[in-house]
Amino acid sequence: MARSNDEVAALFQEYADLIAITGGDAFKARVYEKAARAIGGHHADVGTLDAKGLQEIPGVGRSIAEKVVEYFRDGRVSAVEELRAKIPAGVRQLTAIPTLGPKKALVLHEELGISSVDELADAIRAERLRDLKGFGPRTEENILHGIELLQSSGDRVLLDVALDLAEETVAGLARVTGCRRCTYAGSLRRYRETIGDIDVLAAAERPAPVMRAFTGLPYVTEVIAHGDKKTSVRTSKGLAIDLRVVPPDSWGAALLYFTGSKTHNIRVREIAVRQRLKLSEYGLFDVESGEKVVSATEEDVYARLGLPWIEPTLREDRGEIEAGQRGELPDLVTESDIRGDLHTHTDLTDGLAPLEEMVRAAAERGYAYYAITDHGPDLYMQRMTDERMLAQRDQVRQLDGAYGKQGKRGGMRLLHGVELNIAPDGGVDWPDDFLAGFDLCVASVHSHFNQGREALTRRIVRACENPYVNVIGHPTTRIIGKRPGIDADLDQVFAACARTGTALEINAHPDRLDLRDEDILRARRHGVRFAIDSDAHATLHLAHMRYGVGTAQRGWLTKEDVINAWPLTRLRRFLDKGRRGRRSAA
């Protein structure tokens, strides 16, 4: 995605927050929130569009388009600046705290004079918030947790932001004459959910031309350190990048070393020591003679130590060394194994693209099947009705007839589904007789996140027990760095999923990556099946699947564990969830 789209989306989201903080029109705030999503998900660089072209983006009217033009012309938007001037900077800082909304931030400033995160933490510890209307011990606890989330995220960015920048950097350096190999390493290669800085590794006989090209990249704003072996820079995209250039015959050892994790590397070096070998970024050496044994490829290094090559996504010292020694490493699911996407949206509810565009984009990805799952009526802002959903079903069936006949092996089949809202008592939007008409149902928690632990657990377990619920969407509801996961007994949820034949979603949106890899590992031990879904709200979002697959790999999943890596016939049997047997018995 073009960087300018992200900038404008962030600006309009801030504008929506500022409107809310100042008590402005709630409808206007929602309009700018929707515009932010639309611009962020638009395929073209909005910096290249005029006002007329901008108004072709769903949710972007004349006034919004003029603000976009103003931003690229002047580097600012006067309406945003005016609202910023009305609000103390400290209040804007408080709104960055997950779980603390803009209105509460303004109350804290006006009533208690709080204008920084540290002042707020001190006030909570002194129990000064409890006399304010709408605040109490539970609110204090939630805000403290939000402060912890904010502080722990630091300068880290989401996986997709780091990956875009890393791939752009690697592509630029790979074109340099004399650069034999180039890739990213570190936590990014391991697909960690957030990234602190980017490690790039290159192989060349002469490092100087590669280093020169690196410091000359257009988004480099400062050279922090410059040398023959390592150069570090800051970029305009909010991340630092470290580049290391090694001799080509050291490539494998260096890639292993700089990929990490630290604990994985320690375990590998311990194996080397027991064999009277020494492992460094330059190779695997005999301790006595100092002779280099192997170093050209990672496979060579691992093999000399008696290990198979270990996927980077597994290198967290979670048993991968022992599994490799036993010959029991999993054959991890890959993006090419994914046969379809089971959770996507159109502009019938909160998506940005019409049904036909989403289906066409899915077909271009080569999927064997594809599900449309717009929201049910319990999310009242989506304005869903029985009639609108049934009309969409007719459209889906017509498109299925067309796409199902295209290409080889039956083309792409379409599934008509829905994303249901799990109510506080565990109920869902429609009765069984209406739900029976869907090909699949995803059910998700969208509100009442602060219920007690027992109530939240019962709520999700009851949804699992619904014979028409096939997948629990974004199971913990977290938004990375912004909203913590709900406090439910996940082991009870995992057991219920395994017992009822309900899949857990690995939501691939980089803001969510929900379930987390640690939760996937636990759920897998319960025998749970999983669905890796994009939760796409625009055609570009379908590509988020790669982040979900990376997270699934970190959870040790194979394609046998993932229902949308199965053939359609087997998937349909799973989606039936035993209903056919119950109908026959009845």
pLDDT digits (tens, 9 = 90+) for 74-126: 888 898 888 888 777 667 677 777 667 777 777 887 788 887 788 888 888 88
Rounded to the nearest integer, the mean pLDDT of the chain is 90
Residues 315-327: what's their mean pLDDT?
96
Rounded Cα distance, 244 and 175, in Å: 16
First to last CA, the chain: 53
**Given this model, what pLDDT does residue 221 score?**
92
Task: Please say if the pLDDT value at position 530 is more than 70.
Answer: yes
Rounded Cα distance, 533 and 285, in Å: 45
Cα–Cα distances in Å, from 539 out to 131, 132, 351, 365? Answer: 48, 45, 9, 11
pLDDT > 70 fraction of the chain, expressed in percent and rounded: 95
Widest Cα–Cα separation across the chain: 79
For residue 416, is it left (φ>0), alpha (ψ between -120 and 50) or beta?
beta
Q: How confident is the model at residue 146 (pLDDT cuts 50, 70, 90)?
A: confident
Angle at the Cα of 82 (from 78 to 87), degrees rounded to 5?
145
pLDDT digits (tens, 9 = 90+) for 168-217: 999 999 999 999 999 999 999 999 999 989 999 999 999 999 999 999 99
Give the residue with greater pLDDT, 350 vs 209.
209
- 522 close to 553: Cβ distance less than 8 angstroms: no
> What structural domains does the chain harbor?
3-153 (1.10.150.110), 157-246 (3.30.460.10), 251-326 (3.30.210.10), 335-344+417-585 (3.20.20.140)
Residues 547-564: what's their mean pLDDT?
98
Rounded Cα distance, 42 and 115, in Å: 36
List the structure tokens of 580: 């056919």
Neighbouring-strand partners of residue 246: 203
- 214 close to 225: Cβ distance less than 8 angstroms: no
- 502 close to 464: Cβ distance less than 8 angstroms: yes
**Given this model, what pLDDT does residue 584 score?**
41
Q: What is the DSSP letter of 482?
A: T
Closest of 420, 336, 403, 415 to residue 370, by C-alpha = 415
For residue 344, the tally of other CB atoms under 10 A from its CB is 30
Rounded Cα distance, 300 and 288, in Å: 20
Closest of 506, 527, 503, 528 to residue 517, by C-alpha = 506
Rounded Cα distance, 248 and 256, in Å: 14
Look at strands 503-507 and 440-444 and give their pairing.
unpaired
Cα–Cα distances in Å, from 304 out to 247, 287, 308, 486? Answer: 20, 14, 9, 46
pLDDT > 90 fraction of the chain, expressed in percent and rounded: 65
399 — phi, psi (to 5°)?
Answer: -65, -35
pLDDT digits (tens, 9 = 90+) for 409-434: 568 999 999 999 999 999 999 999 99
Task: Please say if the pLDDT value at position 153 is more than 60.
Answer: no
The continuous run of DSSP H or E covering 69 comes out as helix 62-74
319 — phi, psi (to 5°)?
Answer: 105, 5
**Given this model, what pLDDT does residue 459 score?**
97
List CB contacts of 19: < 8 A, sequence separation 6 or more.
Answer: 25, 28, 29, 32, 83
Residues 385-402: what's their mean pLDDT?
95
Residues 358-362: what's their mean pLDDT?
96
Amino acid at 255: L
Instruction: Say whether the peptide bond before residue 261 is cis (omega within 30 degrees of 0).
Output: yes
Lowest mean per-residue pLDDT among 297-301, 322-326, 451-455, 579-583: 579-583
For residue 408, the tally of other CB atoms under 10 A from its CB is 5
Rounded Cα distance, 484 and 476, in Å: 8
pTM for this prediction: 0.84
SS3 readout for 318-360: CCHHHHHHHCCCCCECCHHHCCEECCECCCCCCCCCCHHHHHH
pLDDT digits (tens, 9 = 90+) for 6-44: 788 888 888 888 887 777 787 888 888 888 888 877 777
SS3 category, 286: strand
500 — phi, psi (to 5°)?
Answer: -95, -5
**Given this model, what pLDDT does residue 586 score?**
42
Exposure b/e, 534-554, CB count within 10 A at least 16 = b: bbbbbbbbbbbbbbbbbbbbb
Look at strands 240-246 and 230-235 and give their pairing.
antiparallel
3-state SS of the chain: helix, strand, coil percent to 5?
50, 15, 35
Residues 533-562: what's their mean pLDDT?
96
| Count, residues in the chain | 586
List the structure tokens of 459: 């709520």
Q: What is the DSSP letter of 293?
A: E
Lowest mean per-residue pLDDT among 86-90, 331-335, 543-547: 86-90
**Given this model, what pLDDT does residue 6 score?**
78
Instruction: Say whether the peptide bond before residue 277 is cis (omega within 30 degrees of 0).
Output: no
List CB contacts of 107: < 8 A, sequence separation 6 or more.
Answer: 132, 134
Q: How confident is the model at residue 580 (pLDDT cuts 50, 70, 90)?
A: low
Rounded Cα distance, 68 and 51, in Å: 8
- 556 close to 530: Cβ distance less than 8 angstroms: no
